[in-house]
Amino acid sequence: MFLVEQGYVPKTSGPALTVSALLPDGRSLAGRPGRIRPLYRRPGATEPNVTPGLLPFLGKAYGHDVTPEDLLAWTVAAAQPSPSGCVLPLTSDPRLWERGVELGHRIVELTVRGARGGDRPRLPGGRRPYVRAAIPARPDTLRYDPEDESLYLGEGRISPVPSGAWEFGVSGVRVLELWFEARTGTGEPGTLEALRPASWPQEWTSELLELITVLALLDELRPRQRELADGPRLARDRLVEARVLPVPPAARRPASVLDHHEEGPDGQLALL
Each residue's pLDDT tens digit, 159-216: 999 999 999 998 888 999 999 998 998 777 888 777 888 899 999 999 999 999 999 9
Q: Is the pLDDT of residue 34 over 90?
A: no
Mean pLDDT of 230-250: 92
Mean pLDDT of 49-65: 96
Q: Is the pLDDT of residue 12 over 90?
A: no
Per the prediction, the chain carries an average pLDDT of 88
- Same domain assignment for residues 146 and 28: no
Work out the percent of the chain whose per-residue pLDDT is above 70: 90
- Same domain assignment for residues 65 and 20: yes
- Same domain assignment for residues 111 and 153: no
Q: Is 35 within a domain?
A: yes
Mean pLDDT of 61-85: 93
**Could you give the number of structural domains in the chain?**
2
Write a three-state SS string for 215-241. Answer: HHHHHHHHHHHHHHHHCCECCHHHHHH
Q: Is 270 within a domain?
A: no
Within 8 A by CB and 6+ apart from 241, the residues are: none
- Same domain assignment for residues 214 and 235: no
- Same domain assignment for residues 20 and 90: yes
Angle (nearest 5°) at CA 221 between 218 and 225: 120
CA–CA dist 91, 61 (Å, integer): 10
CA–CA dist 52, 68 (Å, integer): 12
- Same domain assignment for residues 73 and 148: no
- Same domain assignment for residues 205 and 233: no
Q: Is 169 within a domain?
A: yes
5 sits in which H/E element:
strand 2-5
pLDDT score recorded for residue 32: 60
DSSP 119: P
Report field, pTM of the whole predicted structure over 0.75: yes
- Same domain assignment for residues 108 and 234: yes
Q: Is the pLDDT of residue 45 over 60?
A: yes
Within 8 A by CB and 6+ apart from 122, the residues are: 128, 213
- Same domain assignment for residues 72 and 109: yes
pLDDT, tens digit, for every residue of 87-143? 999 999 999 999 999 999 999 999 998 766 677 888 888 899 999 999 999 999 999
Query: What is the residue range of 19's domain?
Result: 2-120+227-252
Q: Is 265 within a domain?
A: no
